Structure 1
């Protein structure tokens, strides 16, 4: 039974368990698989970095109330964040790295910065 290369489709000579005809095909195949995953990660990381940058720019002092519309106008994407923090009194802060916000009502947010301990 003839084995064919997973990348180029040519016949493979040598061991019966080989998947690629040479190192170039193996590298090309694996790089192509990784590039699809990397594209998704890069685009999500770019959104997270932009969100953090917007929060940092609008909250230089570490705590400020602000209209949600200001973040939206600056390009903030509320669908992406790194984590949540629930306080003892039931408030849920949404964070993008160390920068975060607490929704106060439909139109207002409290921007905060998580202090390192």
Structure 2
């Protein structure tokens, strides 16, 4: 008695080896991509948030340096705990960077703000 087997991705009937799980490489790739997405993969979550942070920092920092209330960015999905690297200036202030866009948390007039900057060549050292 022959048991019918079906592709895990598209549910098409499988022909060939008894241990075959997918009908072609495309279905295999699609299945694993969806599986990773469904499992809420940690790396995908981090990458997604970094992209959001970079997009917001870029949008609010058109001139190369700007000051923005922190709540303005946070309300739009910014999460300051996700960054790629940091830079410490001569005064000991630590700028957190999301790729080429950086921010420094400051409190001015009792309000939390971010000073936004872009990466500069002198920051390499």
Query: C-alpha separation between the residues in 2 aligned to 1:116 and 1:38?
Result: 37
Show the 5 A alignment for 1:61-76: 61-76=63-78
Partner of 2:58: 56
The CA deviation at 1:62 is 0.9
Partner of 1:99: 101
What count of residue pairs does the alignment treat as equivalent?
Answer: 93
Partner of 1:10: none
- SS of the equivalent of 1:104 reads strand
Q: Where in structure 1 are there 5+ consecutive unaligned residues?
A: 1-21
RMSD of aligned Cα (Å): 2.9
The CA deviation at 1:110 is 0.6
Query: C-alpha separation between the residues in 2 aligned to 1:43 and 1:82?
Result: 14
Residues 14-68 of structure 1: CA deviation (Å, up to 9, x unaligned): xxxxxxxx797xx9xxx6xxx4999211111010011000000111111011111
Q: Where in structure 2 are there 5+ consecutive unaligned residues?
A: 1-18, 22-27
